[in-house]
């Protein structure tokens, strides 16, 4: 491991040299004066004084050599649509979209909400924002109206770009009713809404339903070019909302220069993606993985990115591997949940294809269990790299770094700290580093490296208080994940330290789900916990105390009382947050100081020891839960 160790050491000991070397991977219109300004910890300013543009680096820079190479291949197994765009064609589309935004009054620093399914126009919109220095904020197309409204109010966008509908598993998800509702609830709705009409939603009123029609606006500008706006390195590029322990999502803000350098460096050292090759990231642009490795990462590297709309098992579980074969994918990035779904089927769905082009499969977003890691490695016969990161970091914190050294993989482990992260596992009690194989909280001694969040949108105070106050005596960034390091230096992630759960790689705050359930008139209080699930990693289940227990037997519009209450979650947060079960109880287990004992409930639900219960206010509350969970 000597090469990795040396590379890692350099990144921490010679920060300026290390990162100015990496910064050469992108184009700077004006060189930076300083690599790092860390005069106001924990706020880090990277590549101070430098000017660059993400869209220029992702598209324009490749035109001399790759104008006729595909930049984007689009495959939808939902609609059957396939298309591809060369770098030259992307340049044309993105310029037209940038001009459209300009026509709508969007200028540098304005926010644009993108609420779109996985279609090429979503990627063009993102790059168009980057081109003119507008800050994009993609909201996952599965979020419900009120989740969208919260994000609208926090980011106060000038324009929203959306589509008529998304599709999942063959089911149409009309966006317009949802958008209308979100605009109605939002206190600071965008002045203008542009709709890309896929022609999917038959009910859409095409005469009055569209305020601005994407196609019509774009047509006016096709063929015209717009010079990119040269942004300061530290200018925000985008906001991505993520769940935390409170009911209010946090707007993770990323800069421009640091973000570009970090992604370009990761493409070289971690993903080993070469210009001219193809990358297939199976995530959605609504999540951080999509931002980093469907859009920016592969395009910064001059690769072809595959944009896929659909499930991993439709029309059959071989669909992704067929894409790998057909498009000679060299880098693939997916999630443990997706692999667990495939694992229910025969390995033959993978092995029947010629996958010789594939160098690595990367997996992230949630813990990768050892059997799944083994199973997929066995099927692919290439290194399957588990790597650990967060919306906040934007690129991996723990990973194997095959571009530097091909270190052996240990099943179930995301290997080692990535360069730039001064990662420490600290004891929750003493705040000191734990020993080999001892459990502690995974932290990073700041400054966080380039590409990580620079603050929370509009809330520096919350940024510091949320992430840097976990340990009183020292300033460290907390990941809120438990971890251990073994005798060989390999790390293992053991789950969250806070009340956040991870369903199929999607982070959900238990508090958010509780608040949604509590908005039902008959719910007095409620506790949500995540329990282990074979496929999705975790699933939310809920325990509620009702105002009127007689209602338990009631049926509201064909729904049992349980389903009627759960409906609130789907309405407020979207189907991804839907609790698998809602149990009715007389009281919830709390400490004498009134703190909900979520961890004990979770332990019981998973058949484990509920831990220290000495502070429990009323033991009957837990007994009742034990009883309920025993029932079939």
Q: Of residues 93, 154, 366, 470, which one binds ligand AMP by CB under 6 A?
A: 366
Q: Of residues 334, 390, 478, 602, which one binds ligand AMP by CB under 6 A?
A: 390
Q: How far apart are CA 413 and CA 377, in angstroms?
A: 13
Smallest gap from Cβ 481 to ligand AMP, in A, equals: 5
In the complex with ligand AMP, the residue whose CB is nearer, 349 or 388, is 388
Are β-strands 159-163 and 192-196 bridged in parallel, bridged antiparallel, or unpaired? parallel
Q: Of residues 244, 286, 297, 367, which one binds ligand AMP by CB under 6 A?
A: 367
First to last CA, the chain: 51
Q: How far apart are CA 126 and CA 123, in angstroms?
A: 5
Smallest gap from Cβ 165 to ligand AMP, in A, equals: 25
Which residues in 287-326 contact ligand AMP (CB under 6 A)?
288
Smallest gap from Cβ 382 to ligand AMP, in A, equals: 18
Q: How far apart are CA 341 and CA 167, in angstroms?
A: 19
**Is residue 456 within a helix (H) or strand (E), and if so which, with residue range?**
strand 455-456
Residues 338-354 as b/e (b if ≥16 CB within 10 A, e otherwise) read bbbbbbeeeeebbeebe
Q: Is 334 in the site for ligand AMP (CB under 6 A)?
A: no
* Contacts of 140 by beta carbon, 8 Å cutoff, 6+ apart: 284, 286, 287, 574
Size of site (CB under 6 A) for ligand AMP: 20
CA distances from 346 to 308, 349, 373, 478, 629 (A): 23, 6, 15, 40, 33
User: Among candidates 288, 131, 312, which has minimal Cα distance to 224?
Assistant: 131
Given the rule CB under 6 A, which of 103-111, 364-372, 522-530, 554-562 is the region that contacts ligand AMP? 364-372
In the complex with ligand AMP, the residue whose CB is nearer, 111 or 507, is 507
Q: Is 386 in the site for ligand AMP (CB under 6 A)?
A: yes
On the CB side of 469, CA atoms within 13 Å amount to 6
Token pair listed for 251: 């707007």
In the complex with ligand AMP, the residue whose CB is nearer, 318 or 530, is 530
Smallest gap from Cβ 366 to ligand AMP, in A, equals: 5
In the complex with ligand AMP, the residue whose CB is nearer, 85 or 293, is 293
Q: Is 391 in the site for ligand AMP (CB under 6 A)?
A: yes
In the complex with ligand AMP, the residue whose CB is nearer, 164 or 386, is 386
Are β-strands 559-560 and 555-556 bridged in parallel, bridged antiparallel, or unpaired? antiparallel
Given the rule CB under 6 A, which of 13-21, 359-367, 559-567, 609-617 is the region that contacts ligand AMP? 359-367
Q: Could you tell me which residues are beta bridge partners of residue 591?
A: 616
Q: Of residues 361, 364, 380, 585, which one binds ligand AMP by CB under 6 A?
A: 364
In the complex with ligand AMP, the residue whose CB is nearer, 204 or 529, is 529
Q: Of residues 50, 120, 297, 414, which one binds ligand AMP by CB under 6 A?
A: 414
Q: How far apart are CA 200 and CA 185, in angstroms?
A: 26
Which residues in 445-484 contact ligand AMP (CB under 6 A)?
479, 481
Residues 471-498 as b/e (b if ≥16 CB within 10 A, e otherwise) read beeeebbbbbbbbbbeeeebbbbebbbe
Which residues in 253-292 contact ligand AMP (CB under 6 A)?
288
Q: What angle do CA 112, 118, 124 make, to 5 degrees?
A: 50
Q: Of residues 168, 359, 410, 496, which one binds ligand AMP by CB under 6 A?
A: 496
In the complex with ligand AMP, the residue whose CB is nearer, 133 or 414, is 414
CA distances from 269 to 47, 232, 338, 378, 418 (A): 20, 26, 25, 24, 10
Q: Of residues 66, 151, 360, 387, which one binds ligand AMP by CB under 6 A?
A: 387
- For binding to ligand AMP (CB under 6 A), which residues are involved? 242, 288, 364-368, 386-391, 414, 479, 481, 493, 496, 502, 507
């Amino acid at each position: 491991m000597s090469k990795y160790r040396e590379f890692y050491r350099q990144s921490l000991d010679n920060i300026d040299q290390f990162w100015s070397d990496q910064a050469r991977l992108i184009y700077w219109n004006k060189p930076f004066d300083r690599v790092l300004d860390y005069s106001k910890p924990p706020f880090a300013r990277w590549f101070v004084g430098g000017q660059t543009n993400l869209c220029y680096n992702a598209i324009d820079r490749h035109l001399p050599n790759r104008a006729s190479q595909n930049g984007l291949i689009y495959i939808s197994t939902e609609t059957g649509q396939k298309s591809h765009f060369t770098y030259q064609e992307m340049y044309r589309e993105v310029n037209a979209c940038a001009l459209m935004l300009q026509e709508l009054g969007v200028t540098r620093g304005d926010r644009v909400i993108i609420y779109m399914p996985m279609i090429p126009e979503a990627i063009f919109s993102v790059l168009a924002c980057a081109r003119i220095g507008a800050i994009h904020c993609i909201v996952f197309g599965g979020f419900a109206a009120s989740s969208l409204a919260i994000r609208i109010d926090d980011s106060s966008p000038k324009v929203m770009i959306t589509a008529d509908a998304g599709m999942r598993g063959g089911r149409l998800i009309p966006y317009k009713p949802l958008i209308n509702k979100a605009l109605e609830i939002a206190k600071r709705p965008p002045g203008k809404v542009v709709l890309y009409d896929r022609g999917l939603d038959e009910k859409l009123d095409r005469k009055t339903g569209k305020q601005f029609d994407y196609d019509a606006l774009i047509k006016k500008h096709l063929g015209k070019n717009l010079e990119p706006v040269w942004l300061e390195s530290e200018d925000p590029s985008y906001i991505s909302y993520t769940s935390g322990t409170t009911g209010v999502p946090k707007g993770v803000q990323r800069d421009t220069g640091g973000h570009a350098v970090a992604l370009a460096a990761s493409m070289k050292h971690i993903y080993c993606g070469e210009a001219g090759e193809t990358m297939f990231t199976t995530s959605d642009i609504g999540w951080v993985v999509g931002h980093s490795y469907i859009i920016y990462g592969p395009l910064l590297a001059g690769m072809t990115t595959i944009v896929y709309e659909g499930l991993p098992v439709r029309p059959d579980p071989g669909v992704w591997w067929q894409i790998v074969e057909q498009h000679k994918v060299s880098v693939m990035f997916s999630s443990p949940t997706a692999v667990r779904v495939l694992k229910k089927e025969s390995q033959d769905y993978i092995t029947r294809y010629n996958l010789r082009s594939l160098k690595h499969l990367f997996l992230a977003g949630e813990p990768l269990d050892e059997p799944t890691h083994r199973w997929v490695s066995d099927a692919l016969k290439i290194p399957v790299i588990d790597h650990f990161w967060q919306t906040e970091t934007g690129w991996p914190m723990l990973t194997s770094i095959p571009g530097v050294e091909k270190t052996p993989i240990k099943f179930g482990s995301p290997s080692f700290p990535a360069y730039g992260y001064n990662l420490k596992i600290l004891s929750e009690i003493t705040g000191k580093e734990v020993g080999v194989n001892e459990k502690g909280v995974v932290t990073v001694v700041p400054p966080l490296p380039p590409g990580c969040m620079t603050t929370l949108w509009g809330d520096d105070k919350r940024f510091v208080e949320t992430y840097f106050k976990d340990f009183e005596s020292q300033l460290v960034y907390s990941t809120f994940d438990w971890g251990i390091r073994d005798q060989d230096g390999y790390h293992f992630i053991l789950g969250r330290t806070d009340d956040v759960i991870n369903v199929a790689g999607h982070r959900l705050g238990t508090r958010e789900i509780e608040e949604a359930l509590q908005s039902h008139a008959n719910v007095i209080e409620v506790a949500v916990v995540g329990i282990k699930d074979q496929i999705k990693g975790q699933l939310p289940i809920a325990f509620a105390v009702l105002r009127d227990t007689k209602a338990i037997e009631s049926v509201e519009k064909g729904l049992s009382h349980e389903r009627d209450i759960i409906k609130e979650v789907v309405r407020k947060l979207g189907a991804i947050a839907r609790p698998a079960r809602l149990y009715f109880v007389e009281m919830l287990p709390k400490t004498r100081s009134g703190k909900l004992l979520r961890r004990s409930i979770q332990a019981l639900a998973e058949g484990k020891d509920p831990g220290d219960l000495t502070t429990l206010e009323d033991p009957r509350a837990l007994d009742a839960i034990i009883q309920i969970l025993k029932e079939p």
